[in-house]
Chains A and B, each alone.
Chain A
Amino acid sequence: MTAAALDAAHDGLRAAGIDFVSGLPDGWQRPLHERVEADPDIRYVPVCNEGVGFSICAGAWLGGRKPALIMENSGLRVASEYIARISLGTGVPVTLLCSYRGDVGETEHWGIPHGIVAEPLLGALRIKYLVVRHVEDLAKSIVRAKRISEAQLHPAAVLVSGDCVWED
């Protein structure tokens, strides 16, 4: 992600009151993982798959924390089993911040399947989401996603793409 997007994403997480982050770094959001890990106000828990990260975030919410899961959109597929079990079954909110690989502008062939699956999968899981392609929208989108996740007691997502990752 660009330097401006990195700042905006971190600002958005802080403004949203996120104090617990789990995730698996990907190429686009790796700098954000590093930024969050260094933030003394956020507990950062790295995982080796996004499903485990979702479960950990859900457990942290039950203990009073405000969690976010940061991952590539491919991780949505991995996490979907636990999102369905935990959030569709019991109503636990976690903010999801996903790189939108496979969005228009993608340069890598392997990212295409991630782009094909992401939005239909979010729909199947009844997860409201915002696609952010302009840096100036990123921070407030994270705040709004977290806000509705708390209101509906279900995850909400931000898909990050466009100017947040490419300078063309």
Chain B
Amino acid sequence: MALDRYEWLGRLAARLPDDCLVMSTYIGAVSFEWAHHTEEHHRSAHLGQMGDVIGLALGLALALPHRRVVCLDGDGSVLMELGQLVAMGEQQPDNLVVFVVDNGVYESIGWGAVGRRSTATAGRVDLAAIAAGCGVPYTVDVTAEDELDAEMDLAFSRNVCSFINVRTAPGHSHVRPRRTDGIEDKYRFVRYVERLEGIWITGVPPQDIALMKDRTR
């Protein structure tokens, strides 16, 4: 029996290290359910879209090599841009763990009388095998619940660039869609990173704020 996505994401949220950052999908069931489980904590960037989630997470992981970065993506999104796995396999940042919610269907587009539209992973495509072929150091295709718990514990107990493909059952989300757009999501994540890292990313730089104060005298 395939794993339940909502239930799994809840267990992942409970295990998530406090000091990590998350790159998640922007819209769709994974994003909405992750936001629901994490109460939209600002450590999660809901900024990834079809074909760019792993790329964004990889850039973030390379920018902050001391910080664990967790990526949440879907099978349709990974399939759209397999070149991301090539870059991940070449760079191999040991602070990056990618989880793929692989339900074998394009869930978010809905379905009609003939049922859900399948992705290629419902057929012969094995994303974990592709990631391994691209050079990602640790890859696994998870189908059982006890195996999944062990893989999550392993991922968070060590620093190894990992690609964990989780085969879940299709199923429409019953949580509410998120309310924010990408602009708001970006700002809240960036401000969180600024506070967490003690760095400046955007807006008036601290040294210029001091200058502005001088000018008002």
Q: Using CB atoms and an 8 Å cutoff, list the residues of chain B in contact with chain A.
A: 23, 26, 45, 47, 49-52, 54-64, 67, 81, 83-84, 86-87, 90-91, 181-183, 185-186, 189-190, 193-194, 197, 199-202
Contacts and interface: CB of A to CB of B under 8 A. Distances in A.
Nearest to B91: A45
A81 interface: yes
Given A90-B183, A91-B182, A59 B59 contact: yes
Interface of A: 20, 22, 43, 45-49, 51-52, 54-65, 67, 81-82, 85-86, 89-92, 150, 153
B49 A85 contact: yes
B55 A91 contact: no
A43 B63 CA distance: 9
B93 to A, nearest CB: 10
B83 A86 contact: no
16 contacts: A45-B59, A47-B87, A48-B87, A51-B83, A52-B55, A52-B83, A55-B56, A55-B58, A56-B58, A57-B59, A59-B55, A63-B63, A64-B194, A86-B52, A90-B183, A90-B186
B193 A58 contact: no
A43 B193 CA distance: 20
What does DSSP make chain A's interface, helix, strand, loop or mixed?
Answer: helix
Contacts of B56: 55-56, 58-59, 62, 86
A37 B56 CA distance: 21
Given A47-B87, A86-B47, A60 B59 contact: yes
Nearest to B71: A59
A67 B59 CA distance: 10
B68 to A, nearest CB: 12
